[in-house]
Amino acid sequence: MKPTLFILAAGLGSRYGGLKQLDGVGPSGETIMEYSVYDAIRAGFGKVVFVIRHSFEDDFRKFTAERFGDKIPVELVFQELDELPDGYKAHPERVKPWGTNHAVLMAKDAIHEPFCVINADDFYGNESYQTIREFLDTLHGKENQYGMVGYRIQNTLSESGAVARGVCQTKADGFLASVVERTHIERIDGQIKYKDDKGEWFAVEENTPVSMNMWAFTPDYFRYSIDYFREFLKERGQELKSEFFIPLLVNHLVETKTATVKVLDTKAQWFGVTYREDRPTVVAKIQELTEQGIYPKKLW
C-alpha cells in the first residue's frame, strides 16, 4: 500500500484572505503547495489528504480539482475550533483552533496507512519526499516507529529576519532525543544563534538538524494524539492561545520511550514565505530549479 501525504492547510484561508488570493510563486502561477503534491506524486505517494476549514471548502475543492484532481486521489478533512473530545469545550473567547497536532488528529478516520505530514506553504524539495517515502515503506505493519526529515539549520534561515524552528538533539544512532521549539533564530555576525525565553543568546552549529514539520507516522499516532490531547485540554484548555503542537506529543512519546523517531538527514534547502520580503527569493529559487530541469515550466 502506498503512503499518504497529509497537508496541513487549515490556516491558508486566514493567511491569504481566502483561496482567491493564494500566492503563485511558480513560472505558471503555481503555489508552493502544488510543488509538494507534484513531488509526492513523483516519489510514489498514493493519496493526498488536506486538512482545511469549512469556510473555504468550495474554493478549495475547485482549486484541487483543477490542478491535480485527475493525477492523484484527494480527500478533505476539517479542523474547527469546536472539534474536541466529548466533555470538553473551548473558552468562549477563543478564536483559533488548537495547532498542528489538533490538525493531524482530524485525519484519524481518513488515513489507515503510513503517512507524511507537511505544512501547505513550505517548500521541502524533491529529495526530501524521496527520502521520507523510502522510510515510510519500511513502516507497514509496524507501530511506534516514526521519522522526521531533519533539515540543517543553515538551509532554513530567512534573510529578512528571525525565524522559529524546532531545534533537535539526536542520539548517536540517529534517533531523536528531543525537539524544542525556538521562536527566535537568526544569523548574527556570521553565527547562527537563538534567543531563549529569558532573552539570552546561544550559538547553534550550522548543521544542527531542525524540524520543519515534515513527519513520518503510522496510524497508531492518532491514538496517542487523542489521549494526549485530553491531557493537554485539562491543563491548558482554557488558555485563549494555547496550541497542541506536533513536537509537544513527539517529545512526550520519545521521553516516555513509547516511540522512536528516526531523524532523516537531508541536504535539501527548505524555503517559504516567512516574511513578505521572502517572496522574491522563493520565486527566484523555483525559477532556478525549473531552469535546471528539476520541475517543468508548467506543473499540470
Q: What is the pLDDT of residues 34-53, one digit of tens each?
A: 999 999 999 999 999 999 99
Give the span between the Cα atoms of 240 and 257, in whole angstroms: 31
The domain in which residue 104 lies consists of 4-149+212-248+269-291
Count of alpha carbons within 13 angstroms of residue 297, beta-carbon side:
1
Q: What is the reported pLDDT for 40?
A: 98
On whether residue 231 sits in a domain, the answer given is yes
State the pairing for strand pair 260-266/209-217. unpaired
Residue 123 domain-assigned (yes or no): yes
Report which secondary-structure segment, H or E, holds 97. Answer: none
CA distance 148 to 217: 9
| Any domain includes 154 | no
What is the rounded CA–CA span in Å between residue 206 and residue 203? 9
pLDDT at residue 240, as a whole number = 80
283: left (phi over 0), alpha (psi -120 to 50) or beta: alpha
CA 47 vs CA 6, 145, 152: distances in Å: 9, 21, 28
Count how many domains the chain has. 1
What pLDDT, on a 0 to 100 scale, did the predictor assign at position 235? 81
Q: Could you tell me if residue 119 is inside a domain?
A: yes
Residue 157, domain member (yes or no): no
We report the CATH number of the domain holding residue 131 as: 3.90.550.10
Residue 253 domain-assigned (yes or no): no
Residue 300 lies in a domain: no
Find, among 32, 28, 5, the residue nearest to 122 by Cα.
Answer: 32
Distance CA 45, CA 40 (A): 5
Residue 199 lies in a domain: no
Average pLDDT per block of 10 residues along the chain, 300 residues long: 95 61 86 96 97 91 91 94 82 83 95 96 93 96 96 89 90 92 90 91 94 96 94 84 88 95 90 82 94 96
pLDDT of residue 95: 80
pLDDT score at 246: 92
